[in-house]
Structure 1
Amino acid sequence: MAKRRGNQTHHQNEDKQQLQQEADHLADERIAEKKVVDKIVYWIIGILVLLVVVIGLLGFNYVHSSLQPYDQHDHKTVVVKVPEGATNKQIGAILAQENIIKSPMIFNYYVKSHNFPAFQTGFYNLKPSMSLAEVTKKLADGGSQTSKYRVLVKEGATVEQVGNAVAKATHFSKKQFLALMKDQTFMRHLAKKYPKLLSSSMAQSGVRYHLEGYLYPATYDYYQGMSLKELVTNMVTKTDLVMQPYYQKIAEKDLTVQKVLTLASLVEREGNTSKDRGKIAGVFFNRIDAGMPLQSDISVMYALNTHKKHLYNKDLAVKSPYNLYKNKGYGPGPFNNPSKDSIQAVVNPTDRDKNYLYFVADLKTGKVYYSQTFDQHTNTNSGIQTRNNDVN
């Protein structure tokens, strides 16, 4: 019995030792695992700290860079328009698009943090070499109500001459302008926008330029970033504004805008005063009613696409639908862009009841003489030439 108890005790001791060894082994494993976990945590914390530092440095550099000029070596002036009602975010986007600032977001935060009042509508002369502080100061000072660049469309200017004016005042070439004048997609877009104004022009075949006569004589602001289509649309919009009071009367007279502007373009160049323009318009209507060609030298020069002091018989015989010596009626369309005064003269012609069919101007005195018959016209013209020769 004693021997059996001794064996049991021995086995129990061995079991205890084995359990202790297993416990120690588990403890060692836990310690090892904890060390690994601790290392991973330290690494994660280190990476996160590093990321925070890097992001902080990048953010600082981004903000610092955004405060600097877009290009400190670029001193060219860019005219920027701040539209009415534009927010700081919208203004920032415009400035970034024009390469004046680097970040619209930083611009917005900078303006808010410095408590700038709302920036005024207008044109601002800015440079890529300006810092953000200089740009915002310029904006805070207020802009001008007109742009630095202005396109002048003179009364009686043709599309070709308007192209010269556009090329002179903007970075667009005359070739680009004339190409737009032939862009039928653009023409249809404008006709859809202004149907009362342009429907009769678009319906007319054989037209050299559908916008001849529709680019109203005025001065137009041009600013950096404005497209050529926007500039031309402004001209057409102005014409529509001028024509608004006449649309109903034109329809009542069974005329079209194309016919009115065609006669107005002739009246523009043939007469110098409102009184004469009204009478000349009356002469043109009388000739049309009588089935006579208008016989205007302006039409021949347009057909020839040139300007001459003197026209010869071969010039008067030029084959062109615009030659109103050979062709009766109004022709395809306007010969230039007339003024409001000439448009009014056509809508309200004068002295039609006097049945004048001819007129001639004394180029030295500017006086215009009107006749009912060709003989009267010939005698008047001869008298003018004789008087002028005597003076010479």
Structure 2
Amino acid sequence: MAKRSGNQPDHQSKDKQQLESDAEQLAEERVAEKKVVDKIVYWIIGILVLLVVIIGLLGFNYVHSSLQPYDKDNNKTVVVKIPIGATNKQIGAILANEKVIKSAMVFNYYVKSHNFSEFQTGFYNLKPSMSLAEVTKKLADGGSQTSQYRVLIKEGATVEQVGTAVAKATHFSKQDFLKLMKDQTYMKQLAKKYPKLLSSSMAQKDVRYHLEGYLYPATYDYYQGMSLKELVNAMVEKTDLVMQSYYKQINAKDLTVQKVLTLASLVEREGNNSTDRAKIAGVFFNRIDAGMPLQSDISVMYALNTHKKHLYNKDLAVKSPYNLYKNKGYGPGPFNNPSKDSIQAVLNPTDRAQDYLYFVADLKTGKVYYSQTFEEHTSTNSGIQTKNGDNN
């Protein structure tokens, strides 16, 4: 029978000590790791708390600043129109856009927190030097319900005709208006404010009036204390508002606002309804693609700066970049201020596949006839009564 080794208890003792040592070391490592993790957590919490404090301070300063006047030194009266049905949020945006208050968002929260009901529509005389509380009180008191005068800009009206309408409805003279239309410093200011709208006009040479085509046909309110620039600003702003829906489409078609409004101004006077305007726009594009001049009487009369019942050969030969009988392409720019319907017609022309290059309108019936060839056009033209501006 074999004997047990006498060293076995010593080995077991050593193994036990080793295990205990390893366990202690592992415990120490875990404690150290926990300390590191705790420090990281504390740092993260500290940073988050600091960020919350910073954001809170920034928010407090922003709100506090927004409660103060937009410009405490500016006592110029700004007449603000609050339209029918405008929400408090929309009113805040209007006030911020007019630079009467600093923040539309703070205005909205201020109105809610002070339990103001919806404000009345009308005109309000406000100042940038007013605090938000003062502006809100003014709104709560109610505004004037009507403007002093109303300026009607008809569809297809030229800048000259707009000047006549302004002079008729306000104390500004037509000369004052036309002088402003030639004010290049003012034009550059508008182009800076509305770059998408006016950049292509400002880039074009030989333009008679850079705002021809950009004074949207509508009725505009004029009230006491309003400057001529403010009145014109309203017209340009309205045009930009209408064109906002079309900027992407214009770029996608590789056109410019100037080109679109130029064709729209011709379509405005050539067609009497949406269907014919879209077809006429198609004829114009076909002629441009074919390298043919547009040959619109509207362009000749604009070049002559007069309206005529009958145009003669000498009229058609007038030297002017606006004469599209002699010059190919779009010319310098629009010939009048077109309606939305004409703008849509240019952006959505119809019957282009029919290859129409000519059209003529019957003066008696108003019906428009379209032709592919000059011979067909001449034959049609000889059998109907036409008027200037209705034939190509």
TM bucket, shorter chain: 0.5 to 0.7
Distance 1:259 1:140, change over 3 A: closer
1:350 corresponds in structure 2 to 350
Counterpart of 1:384 in 2: which secondary structure? coil
Instruction: Measure the CA separation in 2 of the matches of 1:333 and 1:82.
Output: 33
8 A contact 1:264–1:345 mirrored in 2? yes
2:151 corresponds in structure 1 to 151
8 A contact 2:79–2:226 mirrored in 1? no
Counterpart of 1:260 in 2: which secondary structure? helix
2:374 corresponds in structure 1 to 374
Instruction: Measure the CA separation in 1 of the matches of 2:155 and 2:81.
Output: 29
| 5+ long unaligned stretches in structure 1 | 1-79, 87-116, 125-138, 387-392
Moved over 6 A (4+): none
How far is the alpha carbon of 1:384 from its aligned partner?
Answer: 1.1
8 A contact 2:284–2:357 mirrored in 1? yes
How far is the alpha carbon of 1:145 from its aligned partner?
Answer: 3.6
CA deviations on 1:195-226 (whole Å, 9 max, x unpaired) are: 01000000000000000000000000000101
1:291 corresponds in structure 2 to 291
Counterpart of 2:380 in 1: which secondary structure? helix
Q: Which has the larger radius of gyration?
A: 1
8 A contact 2:150–2:220 mirrored in 1? yes
Counterpart of 1:258 in 2: which secondary structure? helix
Distance 1:181 1:382, change over 3 A: same
Distance 1:371 1:214, change over 3 A: same
Paired residue type of 1:164 = T
How far is the alpha carbon of 1:383 from its aligned partner?
Answer: 1.3
CA deviations on 1:290-316 (whole Å, 9 max, x unpaired) are: 000000000000000000111011100
How far is the alpha carbon of 1:83 from its aligned partner?
Answer: 5.8
Q: Percent of aligned positions with the same letter in both sequences?
A: 86
In the alignment, structure 1 residue 171 sits paired with structure 2 residue 164: no
Paired residue type of 1:341 = D
Counting helix residues as a fraction of each chain, which structure ranks higher? 1
8 A contact 1:164–1:174 mirrored in 2? yes
2:339 corresponds in structure 1 to 339
Distance 1:296 1:82, change over 3 A: closer
How far is the alpha carbon of 1:148 from its aligned partner?
Answer: 2.9
Distance 1:371 1:118, change over 3 A: closer
How far is the alpha carbon of 1:251 from its aligned partner?
Answer: 0.7
Instruction: Measure the CA separation in 1 of the matches of 2:332 and 2:80.
Output: 41
Mapping 1:13-92, distance limit 5 Å: none
Instruction: Measure the CA separation in 1 of the matches of 2:385 and 2:301.
Output: 22
How far is the alpha carbon of 1:146 from its aligned partner?
Answer: 3.2
8 A contact 1:82–1:120 mirrored in 2? no
In the alignment, structure 1 residue 202 sits paired with structure 2 residue 202: yes
Q: What is the CA RMSD across the aligned residues, in angstroms?
A: 2.7
Paired residue type of 2:170 = T
Mapping 1:241-256, distance limit 5 Å: 241-256=241-256
Distance 1:383 1:238, change over 3 A: same
Paired residue type of 1:171 = H
How far is the alpha carbon of 1:82 from its aligned partner?
Answer: 6.5
Instruction: Measure the CA separation in 1 of the matches of 2:81 and 2:276.
Output: 43
2:224 corresponds in structure 1 to 224
TM-score for the superposition, normalised by structure 1: 0.64
Mapping 1:184-199, distance limit 5 Å: 184-199=184-199
8 A contact 1:282–1:349 mirrored in 2? yes
CA deviations on 1:142-174 (whole Å, 9 max, x unpaired) are: 555431300100000000000000001111110
1:234 corresponds in structure 2 to 234
CA deviations on 1:268-292 (whole Å, 9 max, x unpaired) are: 0000000000000000000000000
CA deviations on 1:107-159 (whole Å, 9 max, x unpaired) are: xxxxxxxxxx99955249xxxxxxxxxxxxxx999555431300100000000
1:330 corresponds in structure 2 to 330
How far is the alpha carbon of 1:234 from its aligned partner?
Answer: 0.5
Paired residue type of 2:291 = G
How far is the alpha carbon of 1:242 from its aligned partner?
Answer: 0.7
2:362 corresponds in structure 1 to 362
CA deviations on 1:312-339 (whole Å, 9 max, x unpaired) are: 1110000000000000000000000000
Distance 1:371 1:119, change over 3 A: closer
Instruction: Measure the CA separation in 1 of the matches of 2:220 and 2:197.
Output: 20
| 5+ long unaligned stretches in structure 2 | 1-77, 83-87, 92-116, 125-138, 387-392
Q: How many residue pairs align between the two structures?
A: 267
8 A contact 2:363–2:385 mirrored in 1? no
Instruction: Measure the CA separation in 2 of the matches of 1:347 and 1:118.
Output: 39
Distance 1:141 1:298, change over 3 A: same
Counterpart of 1:343 in 2: which secondary structure? helix
Instruction: Measure the CA separation in 2 of the matches of 1:287 and 1:304.
Output: 23
Instruction: Measure the CA separation in 2 of the matches of 1:119 and 1:364.
Output: 52
Instruction: Measure the CA separation in 2 of the matches of 1:331 and 1:82.
Output: 38
